[in-house]
Amino acid sequence: MRRQNASFILGLASLVIHGLVQCNGRILRDDAPLPNPDCMYFPFDTTLLCPSGMTIPGNFDVSKIRKDVQQITINGPARNVLRSDALPLPADLTNLTQIIFNGFTDENNSRILIKRFVDNVKGHLTSLGIANSKVGFLEDGFLQGFSQLEELNFAKSDISSISRTALQRDGSTFLSVSLLENQLETIDWAVFQPLSQTLTALQIDSQRPGLKSISCSSSFRFANALSSLQLGSNQLESLPQCVLDSLNYNTNSHIGVDNNAFCPTDGACTCPAVQPFLGFACAFSAVNPGSGLSFKCGTGPNQRSWNLQQMPPDAPCTSGVPSFLQTSWLILIAVTLSFFTLE
For CA atoms 87, 93, 97, 101, the dihedral sign is negative
Facing residues of 108 across strands? none
Q: CATH classification of 23-337 is 3.80.10.10, yes or no?
A: yes
- The CA distance from 170 to 195, in Å, is 10
- The CA distance from 183 to 177, in Å, is 16
Q: Which of 246, 269, 267 is nearest to 337 (CA)?
A: 246
SS3 of 234-262: CCCCCCCHHHHHHCCCCCCCEEECCCCCC
Q: Which of 37, 39, 26 is nearest to 68 (CA)?
A: 26
pTM: 0.83
- pLDDT: which is higher, 255 or 325: 255
* Residue 334: per-residue pLDDT: 45
Facing residues of 305 across strands? 296
For CA atoms 144, 145, 150, 156, the dihedral sign is negative
Q: What is the pLDDT of residues 220-233, one digit of tens each?
A: 999 988 999 999 99
- The CA distance from 266 to 138, in Å, is 37
What's the average model confidence in pLDDT over 39-50? Answer: 91
Q: What is the pLDDT of residues 28-44, one digit of tens each?
A: 445 568 999 999 998 88
- Domain limits of the chain? 23-337
Residue pair 76/102 in contact by the 8 Å Cβ criterion: yes
Tell me the backbone φ, ψ of residue 279, rounded to 5 degrees.
-60, -40
Alpha helix ranges (H) inside the chain: 2-17, 114-117, 241-246, 275-287, 323-337
- Whether the upstream peptide bond of residue 264 has omega within 30° of 0, thus cis, is no
What's the average model confidence in pLDDT over 289-318? Answer: 87
* Residue 294: per-residue pLDDT: 86
What's the average model confidence in pLDDT over 301-307? Answer: 91
Q: Which of 199, 111, 196 is nearest to 149 (CA)?
A: 199
Q: What is the pLDDT of residues 68-105, one digit of tens each?
A: 999 999 997 779 999 999 999 999 999 999 999 999 99
Classify 76 as helix, strand or coil.
coil
Facing residues of 49 across strands? 40, 73
Does residue 6 surpass a pLDDT of 80? no
Residue pair 72/99 in contact by the 8 Å Cβ criterion: yes
- Taken as a whole, the chain contains a residue count of 343
H or E element in which residue 11 lies: helix 2-17
- pLDDT: which is higher, 269 or 22: 269
Residue pair 212/184 in contact by the 8 Å Cβ criterion: no
Residue pair 67/92 in contact by the 8 Å Cβ criterion: yes
**How does strand 199-203 pair with strand 213-215?**
unpaired
* Residue 8: per-residue pLDDT: 30
What's the average model confidence in pLDDT over 156-183? Answer: 96
Average pLDDT, the chain: 85
**Maximal C-alpha separation, the chain:** 80
- Gyration radius from the chain CA atoms: 25
End-to-end CA distance of the chain: 74
